[in-house]
């Protein structure tokens, strides 16, 4: 370890001179009363003490350099998805133990990367590219020697790892699974509407694959909540045949409906898990109608339209402001963007629609929309400037997810006008402007309520860049979609005026955590969490699951983790108060891992070949061990770690100062100077 103290030489000289001056002032006139040796001794004590104290005031910094020898690193990845039937837990641990001279890191992966190996293969997805991205990020600038991955090569999520591999070391693959093709019938996909109006029927397309069953007949059954409503026998005329079966399905009940397409297994069929395909359809009374009015093209408009069209609860219409003429009851939300300044009549029409919620994209002069937002006053001070964004933690009207909050707080800047805002007390600011590292009180997103009408205002432009950033970080646009969906839903939905409010996702995949939030109000409509809240979920077999909410500040939260795929009845009650909630929650089964059990070793071969690695089978683990131990790069890496620490933070400095003060005091006491 090397030490180096950084300070100003001139200031150090000044400290020495001041220390000498202070010592002379204290002891020079007392030299005639002291022995020469005693005079010099106490003077040195005082000189060193004062000099050190003054030196500490100039805040010297000690730089330490540590030399760290890092062994070569081997990362071992275990595919823990449910398509892998082999239990490789013991084999991989033995393999790790036999590696000599390496630091070995163990992980298992499916939809994500997890520490250590696992004995259970129950992952619902296989995403090798995501695992590689996380390894590449975690071991950047480290002495990574090679990566070993044990997998069957079946990927059903993310991108092809051959085209998204940032790992620049050999990748050795252990090929699991069976590559033989057996006689098999399977339902590969069902295309259907996600949302259907009650009383309407919808057409489903059922895709069936049959391998090596020429001359046989299979029976297709369709069931709704366990009741069969469709039964058809299909004749197989070739060894590799594909069928597309069209079925018209009626709807009779509101809510999320579970439908099951099932092929009755043929005798001797090895894999029957892929004979069953479950799909869910949300049967509703109506959709929410949204009208977007704009007079110009803009990438923010394109990104907004894309989000709304993906939401199964929304129906979107688009028109120009000059075409604007409709009945107020036709739509649940009006969105305004890039309105021509010449069309002042449009603003007057909007103002007359007193009950229709509005979302305004204010990228141009605010004065044009000021009549619609009387509780906001803005005085423009300069031209447009780029600002960053920060979520307001005090905004409680709805919650941004953690991923969306991170996206907003760390995303690219938007362009907006700079000026002074004057907001009335009832304005709720959801997102503030961040200028440099300072979070200002200037809004980017705010909400108002004027005479019972909800109004949302988004200041600035360039939000389409957030969509690109979201995809670059997460390989999807879920967080960006949540941004616009949350705003739209808040504006559309009528406020819950009850004293007990329960918030949760009514549809969720089985691999996602189920989180409930609740608020309880007293008679004065102030948040009150004095009483316990009990939640009971009942599955389709009438089995009950009871939970108790945790208190979170003045609200409630409950994370029950994962539950098996099913439709659950929900009952929540506030103890000691007559407050109850009923509902339903649908947990969807993920079936991707069941569709094919034929291993894709070609992908694993290509991964190894393109990276300079080798492929092995579980039966020859020893060959892989020998290859890594004998031929793998075993060069250690010398790392110099620089650390900066203030000199005053060292404990021995305090010890020196106390010693000097104590010794001087003893000498002065002994010589009668005290």
- Give the model confidence (pLDDT) of 216-266 as tens digits: 999 999 998 788 999 999 999 998 899 999 998 988 888 888 899 999 998
Specify whether the backbone of 116 is left (phi greater than 0), alpha (psi in -120 to 50) or beta. left
Q: What is the pLDDT of residue 274?
A: 86
- pLDDT on residue 69: 74
Please name which of 633, 609, 531 lies closest in space to residue 573, comparing C-alpha atoms: 531
DSSP 32-60: GGS-HHHHHHHHHHHHHHHHHHHHHHT--
By 3-state DSSP, what share of the chain in percent is helix, strand and coil, each rounded to 5? 30, 40, 35
Phi and psi angles of residue 651, each rounded to the nearest 5 degrees, phi first: -65, -35
Distance between CA atoms of 89 and 289, rounded to whole angstroms?
Answer: 53
Question: Binning pLDDT at 50, 70 and 90, where does residue 636 land?
Answer: low
Q: Which helix (H) or strand (E) holds 292?
A: strand 288-294
For the segment 356-368, what is each residue's pLDDT rounded down to a tens digit? 899 988 876 677 7
Diameter of the chain measured on Cα atoms: 124
- What residues contact residue 338 under an 8 Å CB cut-off, 6+ apart? 294, 295, 296, 298, 301, 361, 363, 364
Mean pLDDT of 646-668: 80
Domains annotated on the chain, with CATH: 2-66+643-670 (no CATH), 73-180+598-635 (3.40.50.410), 184-284 (2.60.40.10), 288-492 (3.40.50.880), 500-588 (2.60.40.1930)
Where do the DSSP E strands lie in 320-393? Answer: 333-337, 358-362, 376-391
Nearest C-alpha neighbor of 152 from the set 180, 181, 182, 177:
177
| Digit-coded pLDDT (tens) for 257-277 | 889 999 999 888 888 888 988
Question: Is a pLDDT exceeding 60 seen at residue 3?
Answer: no
Provide the pLDDT confidence category of residue 135 given band limits of 50, 70 and 90: very high
Average pLDDT estimate for 516-525: 84
The phi-psi region of residue 451 (left if phi > 0; otherwise alpha if psi is between -120 and 50; otherwise beta) is: left
C-alpha atoms less than 13 angstroms from C-alpha of 57 in its C-beta half-sphere: 13
Q: Tens of pLDDT along 286-333?
A: 778 999 988 888 899 999 999 999 887 788 999 888 887 767 778 889
Give residue 270's pLDDT. 82
Q: Going by DSSP bridges, is the β-strand pair 195-197/276-284 parallel, antiparallel, or unpaired?
A: parallel
422 vs 379: CA distance, rounded Å: 9
User: Coil, strand or helix: which one is 347?
Assistant: helix
Instruction: Give the model confidence (pLDDT) of 390-421 as tens digits.
Output: 998 888 777 788 888 899 998 889 888 877 78
Q: How far apart are CA 595 and CA 321, in angstroms?
A: 49
- Complete edge-to-edge strand list for the sheet that includes strand 240-249: 184-191, 202-211, 240-249
DSSP state string for 136-192: HHHTTTS-EEEEEEEE-----SS--TTSS----S-EEEEE-SB-----EEEEEEEE-
pLDDT of residue 445: 92
Find tokens 């069902």 and name the residue. 190
Worst-scoring range by mean pLDDT, 32-36, 133-137, 306-310?
Answer: 32-36
80: which 2 tokens?
């823990």
Instruction: Say which residue, 22 or 532, is predicted with more confidence.
Output: 532
Please classify residue 533 by burial: count the beta carbons closer than 10 Å to its beta carbon, then call 0-12 exposed, 13-18 middle and 19+ buried: buried
Tell me: pLDDT of 1 over 70.
no
Query: What is the rounded distance in angstroms from the CA atom of residue 53 to the CA atom of residue 60?
Result: 11
Cα 377 from chain centroid (whole Å)? 36
- The three state secondary structure string of 2-14 is EEEEECCHHHHHH
pLDDT at 674 exceeding the cut of 70? no
Q: Is residue 433 over pLDDT 70?
A: yes
CB 208 within 8 A of CB 242: yes
Distance CA 221, CA 234 (A): 11
* Average pLDDT estimate for 579-602: 84
Mean pLDDT score, 449-478: 88
Q: How confident is the model at residue 511 (pLDDT cuts 50, 70, 90)?
A: confident
How confident is the model over 557-577, as a mean pLDDT?
Answer: 90
Evaluate if residue 28 carries a pLDDT over 80: no
Residue 545, pLDDT score: 94
CA 426 to chain centre: 31
Long-range contact set of residues 498-506: C-beta below 8 Å, sequence gap at least 24: 498/579, 499/523, 499/525, 499/579, 500/572, 500/574, 500/577, 500/579, 500/580, 500/581, 502/572, 502/581, 502/583, 503/399, 504/583, 504/585, 505/585, 506/256, 506/583, 506/584, 506/585, 506/586
Q: What are the beta bridge partners of residue 538?
A: 544, 569
d(CA 403, CA 473): 10
- Tokens at residue 592, please? 């991707």
Q: Which single residue is written with the structure tokens 């110009």? A: 296
pTM of full prediction above 0.85: no
Handedness of CA 502, 504, 507, 509 (dihedral sign): negative
Least confidently predicted of 454-463, 588-597, 639-648: 639-648
């Amino acid at each position: 370890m090397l030490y180096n103290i950084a300070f100003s030489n001139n200031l150090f000289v000044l400290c020495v001179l001041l220390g000498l001056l202070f010592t002379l002032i204290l002891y020079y006139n007392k030299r005639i009363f002291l022995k020469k040796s005693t005079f010099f001794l106490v003077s040195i004590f005082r000189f060193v003490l004062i000099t050190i104290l003054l030196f500490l005031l100039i805040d010297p910094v000690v730089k330490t350099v540590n030399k760290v020898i890092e062994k070569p690193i081997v990362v071992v990845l275990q595919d823990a998805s449910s398509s892998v039937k082999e239990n490789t837990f013991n084999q991989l641990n033995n393999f790790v133990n036999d590696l000599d001279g390496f630091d070995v890191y163990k992980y298992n992966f499916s939809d994500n990367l997890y520490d250590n190996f696992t004995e259970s293969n129950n992952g619902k997805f296989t995403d090798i590219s995501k695992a590689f991205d996380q390894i590449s990020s975690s071991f950047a600038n480290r002495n990574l020697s090679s990566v070993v991955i044990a997998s069957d090569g079946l990927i059903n999520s993310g991108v092809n790892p051959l085209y998204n591999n940032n790992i620049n070391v050999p990748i050795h693959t252990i090929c699991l699974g069976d590559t033989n093709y057996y006689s098999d019938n399977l339902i590969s996909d069902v295309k259907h509407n996600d949302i259907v109006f009650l009383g309407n029927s919808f057409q489903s397309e059922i895709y069936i694959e049959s391998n090596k069953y020429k001359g046989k007949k299979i029976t297709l059954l369709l069931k709704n909540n366990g009741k069969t409503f469709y039964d058809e026998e299909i004749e197989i005329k070739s060894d590799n045949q594909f069928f597309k079966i069209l079925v018209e399905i009626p709807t009779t009940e509101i809510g999320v409906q579970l439908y099951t397409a099932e092929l009755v297994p043929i005798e001797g069929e090895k894999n029957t898990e892929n004979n069953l395909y479950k799909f869910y359809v949300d049967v509703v009374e109506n959709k929410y109608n949204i009208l977007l009015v704009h007079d110009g093209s803009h990438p923010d408009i394109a990104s907004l339209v894309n989000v709304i069209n993906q939401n199964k609860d929304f129906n979107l219409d688009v028109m120009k402001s000059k075409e604007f003429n409709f009945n107020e009851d036709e739509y649940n939300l009006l969105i305004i963007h890039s309105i021509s300044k010449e069309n002042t009549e449009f603003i007057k029409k909007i103002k007359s629609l007193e009950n229709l919620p509005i979302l305004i994209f204010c990228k141009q002069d605010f004065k044009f929309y000021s009549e619609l937002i009387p509780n906001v006053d803005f005085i423009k001070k300069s031209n447009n400037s780029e600002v960053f964004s920060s979520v307001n933690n005090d905004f409680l009207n709805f919650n941004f997810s953690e991923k969306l909050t991170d996206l907003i707080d760390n995303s690219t800047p938007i362009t907006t006008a700079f000026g002074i805002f004057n907001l009335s007390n009832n304005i709720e600011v959801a997102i503030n402007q961040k200028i440099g590292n300072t979070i200002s009180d200037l809004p980017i997103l705010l909400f108002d309520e004027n005479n019972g009408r909800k109004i949302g205002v988004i200041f600035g432009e360039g939000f389409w860049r957030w969509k690109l950033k979201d995809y670059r970080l997460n390989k999807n646009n879920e967080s960006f979609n949540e941004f616009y969906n949350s705003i739209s839903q808040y504006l559309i939905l009528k406020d819950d005026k009850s004293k007990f409010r329960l918030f949760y996702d009514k549809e969720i995949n089985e691999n996602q955590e189920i989180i409930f939030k609740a608020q309880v109000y007293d008679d004065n409509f102030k948040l009150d969490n004095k009483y316990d809240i009990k939640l009971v979920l009942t599955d389709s077999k009438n089995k009950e699951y009871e939970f108790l909410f945790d208190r979170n500040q003045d609200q409630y939260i409950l994370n029950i983790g994962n539950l098996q795929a099913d439709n659950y009845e929900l009952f929540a009650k506030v103890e000691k108060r007559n407050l109850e909630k009923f509902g339903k929650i649908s947990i969807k089964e993920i079936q991707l891992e069941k569709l094919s059990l034929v291993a894709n070793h070609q992908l694993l071969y290509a991964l190894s070949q393109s990276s300079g690695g080798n492929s092995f089978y579980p039966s020859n683990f020893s060959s892989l061990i020998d290859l890594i131990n004998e031929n793998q790069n075993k060069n250690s890496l010398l790392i110099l770690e620089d650390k900066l620490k203030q000199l005053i933070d060292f404990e021995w400095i305090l010890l020196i100062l106390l010693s000097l003060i104590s010794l001087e005091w003893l000498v002065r006491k002994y010589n009668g100077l005290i």
